[in-house]
Each structure stands twice: as structure tokens, then as C-alpha cells.
Amino acid sequence: MKVLNGFNDPACHGGFVAIGNFDGVHLGHRAMLGRLRARATEARVPAIVVTFDPHPIAVLRPGQVPAPLTTLDRRLELIGACDVDCVIVYPTDRQLLQLSAREFFDRVIRNQLEVRGLVEGTNFCFGKNRGGTVELLTRWCDDAGLACEIIPPLTHGGAVVSSSSIREQINRGDVAQAAEFLATPYLVSGIVAHGDARGAKIGFPTANIEHVETLLPADGVYAGRCHCAAGTFAAAINLGTNPTFGGMIRKFEAHLLDFAGDLYGQTVRVEWIERLRGTRPFSGIEELVGQLRHDVARTRELVRV
């Protein structure tokens, strides 16, 4: 899969194209990219994805941009798994966002991409102030002799799969439901930093993870998986303050099962499998250690590595 930052590669012109943010690359996105692959194969042309970095809202209304579900690298990794030929990561700027819907269609879709056809979801909008709708897109494609397929919303368990619904699930700690909508466990990346080493003193050393760019779940204790340079390990994860010791700072810590070593400075990737419980204060070290043993046992039951 080619990854480009503009439209200057002729090998990524003249194909079937899907345009969008693709945050999370969830089941709905995967269904759309599956149709993109099929239409491109039928037409014997490339399957091309156009995505944006940063999110357009980050340029227009920086204070209102939603916390992303994926970093750009993770998004590209997941899109690449959908068997597309090319991803164009368009650097979002005000010049692009000031194009009217008609200008975007003529300049970007027709002239720069030279598309043979488009595959989009029903909520796709384009052009200044989101003035271009799928109804307009379909009509303009018909007039220009281009194929245009609009994919209906995908439902799972009676609910529409969307990036916003997945954010809601993660915000309430329902990482197991989010994994169903994503078709893979929710994953975040961060860098291991020095903490207060309190966990090591009671027999449960933790990696203190910082610099996370994506959405973190609700406070609580979770079973998960941690990928690091030494391999992949089941992990009991704590997210929140430490009320037993009067902590006031929200921390993201992972106790890697059956791991011994130094992770400081490493970038680690953490998959969230299931929420075990909320955070709460304990009467003392003995009660806390007992609960931690139970959390580790549940993690062993739930997580396979």
C-alpha cells in the first residue's frame, strides 16, 4: 500500500476512491472499504482512500475537536489491512476547507484524483460548511459519468456503528462493546515514564504510561494486553487517581503479568479487553493487595497472549 501526502503520484489517480476521516476504522468503515476494493477490482483500477490530517475540526474549531480513536499511524495500519492500494493523507488547511462543495468536486475529485468512481457512507459531507451532501454527490457523479455507490449505515446489535458511538462506549468504560464495533480491541499508545514506584513496593510493579494522544476510557481497572519490545503480555490496567493513598492526579498504569524488566522510555501499545471494576479507596495495604490479586487472576482468565 502506498501512502502519499498529496495527489502527485499518477499511480494513485483514476481509481475508485473513498474519502473520509476513518477514525477508528470500525465495522462501518471496513464494509465501505470492502465495497471500494470490490468496485476497484471489477474496474481493474486502484482502490484509493483519501483521509485528512489533522481532523478538519482541529483547524476550524480547535477547542471542539473530539479526542481521536486512532493516531494517524494506527489509522493507516488498519486501512492497510483492508487491502487498498493507496492512501492519500491530505494535510488539512484552511485553503482546502474554504473550497465550496462544487469546487471540491471539480478540483479534487475530478481534476486531481481523476476518479472512476466513489464509494461513500450516507453521512459523507464535503466542501465549505459541509455544503456537499451525498445527494449532490450522486447527481454530480451521474452528470459527469462517474460511478457513485453510497453505503447504508451498518448496525451491530441493533445500534448504528459510528466513531461517535464508539467514543461513547469508551467514555463509559465499555471497552468490550467498543471492540465489537471496531472488530478489534481498542488500542492506545504511550511512553513509559517514571512514576512513584508504589506498586513495586507492594509486589505489583506497573508501567506508568504517558503522552497518549487518543481517547482514554473511563476511570477503572481493566484487563488488557500490552505490546512492548520484549513481547506481548497480559496486563491488569488501572486508570484514575489513587484514592487509597490520597492521589489527585489521573494516572494510566499497567501491571504486565509474568514480565520482568525495564520499560522506561519505551513506546508501548495497550489493548483494552474488559472493564473489571471501578476505582475505590481501600482500608489499607492488605485489603488493596487482596483486590489486586483478584484483578490479576481475572486478567489471566480473560486475556490470551
**Of 135, 156, 177, which marks where a domain is finished?**
156
Task: Specify if 165 maps to a domain.
Answer: no
Location of C-alpha cell 489521573: 250
Q: In which region does residue 274 sit, left (phi positive, over 0), alpha (psi from -120 to 50) or beta (all else)?
A: beta
Q: Is residue 174, in this structure, part of any structural domain at all?
A: no
Contact between 216 and 302 (Cβ < 8 Å): no
Domain count, the chain: 2
Same domain for 138 and 229, yes or no, is no
Residues 190 and 298 in one domain: yes
| Residue 176 maps to a domain | no
Sheet holding 2-4, edge to edge: 2-4, 86-91, 47-53, 16-19, 117-121, 147-151
Confirm whether 13 is domain-assigned.
yes
Closest by Cα among 164, 174, 253, 261 to 218: 174
Q: What is the pLDDT of residue 217?
A: 98
Residue 150 and residue 194 in one domain: no
Judge whether 180 lies within some domain: no
Contact 83, 37 (CB under 8 A): yes
The confidence score (pLDDT) of residue 132 equals: 95
Claim to verify: residue 152 and residue 190 sit in the same structural domain:
no
Question: Is 71 inside a domain boundary?
Answer: yes
- Closest to 173 in 3D by CA, of 215, 204, 211: 215
Q: What are the cell numbers at 187?
A: 488500542
Q: Judge whether 162 lies within some domain.
A: no
Residues 243 and 143 in one domain: no
Q: Are residues 150 and 214 in the same domain?
A: no
| Residues 140 and 279 reside in one and the same domain | no
CATH of the domain at 146: 3.40.50.620
pLDDT, one tens digit per residue, over 20-55 is 999 999 999 999 999 999 999 999 999 999 999 988
Q: Identify whether 169 is part of a domain.
A: no
d(C-alpha 132, C-alpha 34), whole Å: 24
| CA 186 – CA 212 distance, rounded (Å) | 13
Residues 27, 183 contacting (CB under 8 angstroms):
yes
Domain boundary residue among 156, 173, 194? 156
pLDDT at 6: 80
Residues ≥6 apart with Cβ < 8 Å to 100 = 127, 128, 131
User: The CATH number of the domain where 259 resides is what?
Assistant: 2.40.30.30
User: Are residues 49 and 92 both part of a single domain?
Assistant: yes
Q: How many CA atoms lie within 13 A of 230 on its CB side?
A: 13
Are 192 and 144 in a shared domain? no
Q: Residue 22 is part of which domain span?
A: 2-156
Residues 13 and 134 in one domain: yes
My answer on whether 30 and 143 are in the same domain is yes
Single out the residue of 20, 137, 7, 16 nearest to residue 83, CA to CA. 16
What grid cell was written down for 152?
A: 447504508
The pLDDT profile of the chain, 305 residues, written as one tens digit per residue, is 999 988 888 888 999 999 999 999 999 999 999 999 999 999 999 999 999 998 888 887 887 888 999 999 999 999 999 999 999 998 888 888 899 999 999 999 999 999 999 999 999 999 998 899 999 999 999 999 999 999 999 999 999 999 999 999 999 999 999 999 999 999 999 999 987 766 666 778 999 999 999 999 999 999 999 999 999 999 999 999 876 555 668 999 999 999 999 999 999 999 999 999 998 888 788 888 899 999 999 999 999 99
137 and 28 in one domain?
A: yes
Query: Mapped to the 3 state alphabet, what secondary structure does the chain carry?
Result: CEEECCCCCHHHCCCEEEECCCCCCCHHHHHHHHHHHHHHHHHCCCEEEEEEECCHHHHHCHHHCCCCCCCHHHHHHHHHCCCCCEEEEEECCHHHHCCCHHHHHHHHHHHHCCCCEEEEECCCCECHHHCECHHHHHHHHHHHCCEEEEECCCEECCEECCHHHHHHHHHCCCHHHHHHHHCCCEEEEEEEECCCCHHHHCCCCCEEEECCCCCCCCCEEEEEEEEECCEEEEEEEEEECCHHHCCCCCEEEEEECCCCCCCCCCEEEEEEEEEEECCCCCCCHHHHHHHHHHHHHHHHHHCCC
